[in-house]
Amino acid sequence: MANETEAEIGYGGEVTYDDTPLPQVVDITAPDLEVPEDKVSSNDGPAWHEYIPKMGEPGTITFNIVYTADILATLMGILRQMKEWAVNDPDGSSFSQDGFIKSLKKGQPLDSHNTIDVVVKLSGEPVFDEG
């Protein structure tokens, strides 16, 4: 019996900056888009709070990547630089947006491979391409 669900695993996804793929990316979290609200209730309105949407927050892309000295040097070389970042899904769809590396954290566990945790702060309007 075939699965009816169209779920996919993340294997095959990639992160790029300025169309340059980063090698050995392990786990990727796409942008955490958020639209904050502004409470606009007044004494003249209904007895329920009313809200309007504020400007959108583009959020961040987070990923970890297998540590090599070359990869760390590449990431350090683009710190504080605005780049076009993209998260490309295995199904061909993608999120892309301008942003900059907000943080890098190198991990060195005792009994596993070394990794670098990367957070990219996004800026402006996101673009979603269905592929």
- pLDDT tens by residue, 52-77: 999 999 999 999 999 999 999 999 99
Candidates 118, 104, 127; CA nearest to 56 is: 127
- Give dist(CA 128, CA 14) in Å, integer: 15
- Give dist(CA 51, CA 91) in Å, integer: 36
pLDDT confidence of residue 36 = 96
What CATH class is the domain 14-129?
mainly beta
pLDDT confidence of residue 3 = 73
User: Within 13 A of 37's CA, how many CA atoms are on the CB side?
Assistant: 7
Distances (CA, A) of 1 to 6, 9, 49, 68, 111: 14, 20, 50, 44, 40
Tokens 């491979």 found at: 113
User: Which residue numbers in the chain have pLDDT < 70?
Assistant: 1-2
Model's pTM, two decimal places?
A: 0.88
